[in-house]
Chain A
Amino acid sequence: MRPIFLLPTILACVFSFNGSALATESPPVVLTIHDNRFEPEQLSLPSGIKLKLLIRNLDAIPTEFESFDLSREVIVPGHGEVTIYVGPLESGSYQFFNDFNHEMRGSIVVTPNVK
């Protein structure tokens, strides 16, 4: 028995979730990188909603957007942008930073979503 065959099975499982995951699409929240800072440094988001986060790098050097609290890790090329998904999150504070420059940091503050 070759466990190599696990991979297609795992991938099949992954893509079967695809439809349901994309159903909750919303307009992106924009986070800008400019002059070695995140703008805004604190993002406020409602809880329980899956959001698209567009990270736009206006600087020439690449940034690695990373967050242990959110399990996110993505490289934003210089003068480039990337889109990642975040959440749904519970209320609380979530730190993120630039893994290439730890002085660049910010946080996402999630407050209860009142409907």
Chain B
Amino acid sequence: MLATSVIMFREVLEAALIIAIVLGTSRGIAGRGRWVVGGIGLGLLGALIVAFLANVASSVFSGNGQSILNATILLSAVAMLTWHNVWMSSHGRKYSSAVTAVGSSVQSGHRPLLALLVITFAAVMREGSEAVLFIWAIATGGEQSLDMLLGGMGGVVAGIMVGLLLYLGLLRIPVRHFFSITSWLILLLSAGLAAQAAGFLNQAGLLPSLGNGVWNTSNILSQTSLIGQLLHILVGYIARPTGIQVVFYIGTFLIILTLMHTCGKKRDKRLKTVKIPS
């Protein structure tokens, strides 16, 4: 029963943390709740479909399909997180004053609401399909299955609780540091997801591994440990990465950072040109 809850906890944790981060970073944006809930709903639906296909049409899974699907989901999440972050860096600061007033929301033309939906959808579908398959496996497993299902439910609740804690923690960050801290969080999260995607594309034989001896810190901080797993999700920690994962991590990090700076500068220029005539 305990083993089951640990496994379910791990499956739920990644999705819960990602949702906590996008919810935390998008505070003050009107209508975000509906889009995030929509993303969760679609993600669960997608998870059920994937799990169903895995059981019924296992031939769909025999080739590269599964790895490419995972890589695509992860890379779409990275693209959307990038959009979200770049948008926040060019519009976010004007929210700083707005979010301090409790309950106020700001309306704007191109809010990255679709990004919130896609990120949530991606996180829930990826982890959810594994969770559904696991539950299915233990439900058909025999006499102990009720006990194990209860354990699994416990794991789900625990995973959601950790996500909730992170969300509440994010809300406690003082407003003047809020945007710099959350944009760094998203930057590192995105780079980590891109590295995961590189792993899947390499697994599918579509990318070279570029070696596997970059470093090995499994003995110092194993990815099986809770801290190792938390760091893996939040900042993309990999104990024994392949070269291509390091390349994707650094590449994504630099691209997003550059975009954030370029768009942030444009905004500063706009503000200046408005100020001069007055």
Q: Once the chains are docked, how many angstroms separate the CA of A71 from the CA of B58?
A: 23
Q: Is the CB of A6 within 8 A of B82?
A: yes
Interface string of B56-72 (1 = CB under 8 A from A): 00110111101100100
- Decide yes or no whether B26 CB sits under 8 A from chain A: no
Which listed segment binds A: B135-143, B155-163, B166-174, B175-183?
A: B135-143
Q: Is the CB of B207 within 8 A of A74?
A: no
Q: Once the chains are docked, how many angstroms separate the CA of A90 from the CA of B213?
A: 7
Nearest B residue to A64, CB-CB = B130
Q: Is the CB of B130 within 8 A of A77?
A: no
Interface string of B85-113 (1 = CB under 8 A from A): 01000000000000000000000000000
User: Count of A-B contacts with CB under 8 A?
Assistant: 139
Residues from chain B with a CB closer than 8 A to the CB of A39 are none
Nearest A residue to B140, CB-CB = A61
- Decide yes or no whether B241 CB sits under 8 A from chain A: yes
Q: Is the CB of A75 within 8 A of B255?
A: no
Q: Is the CB of A14 within 8 A of B202?
A: no
Q: Is the CB of A21 within 8 A of B205?
A: yes
In this complex, how many residues of chain A approach chain B with their Cβ under 8 Å: the count is: 46
- Decide yes or no whether A2 CB sits under 8 A from chain B: yes
- Decide yes or no whether B185 CB sits under 8 A from chain A: no
Question: Closest approach, in angstroms, between the C-beta of A54 and any C-beta of chain B?
Answer: 9
Quick one: given A89-B212, A102-B3, are A74 and B83 in contact (CB under 8 Å)? Answer: no
Q: Is the CB of B61 within 8 A of A68?
A: no
- Decide yes or no whether A81 CB sits under 8 A from chain B: yes
Residues from chain B with a CB closer than 8 A to the CB of A78 are 55, 58, 137
Q: Is the CB of A3 within 8 A of B79?
A: yes
- Decide yes or no whether A83 CB sits under 8 A from chain B: yes
Residues from chain B with a CB closer than 8 A to the CB of A1 are 86, 259, 262-263
Residues from chain B with a CB closer than 8 A to the CB of A70 are 212, 240
Complex interface residues of chain A between 1 and 50 (CB less than 8 A to chain B): 1-4, 6-7, 10-11, 14-15, 17-18, 20-22, 50
Q: Is the CB of A83 within 8 A of B79?
A: no
18 contacts between A and B (CB under 8 A): A1-B262, A1-B263, A7-B79, A14-B201, A17-B207, A61-B141, A62-B55, A62-B133, A68-B222, A69-B240, A70-B212, A72-B199, A83-B64, A85-B204, A88-B211, A90-B211, A99-B7, A100-B7
Task: Give A contacts to B, CB under 8 Å.
Answer: 1-4, 6-7, 10-11, 14-15, 17-18, 20-22, 50, 52, 60-62, 64, 68-85, 87-90, 99-100, 102
Q: With A6-B255, A81-B58 given, can you name 5 additional A-B contacts, CB distance below 8 Å? A: A68-B223, A68-B238, A75-B130, A85-B202, A90-B212
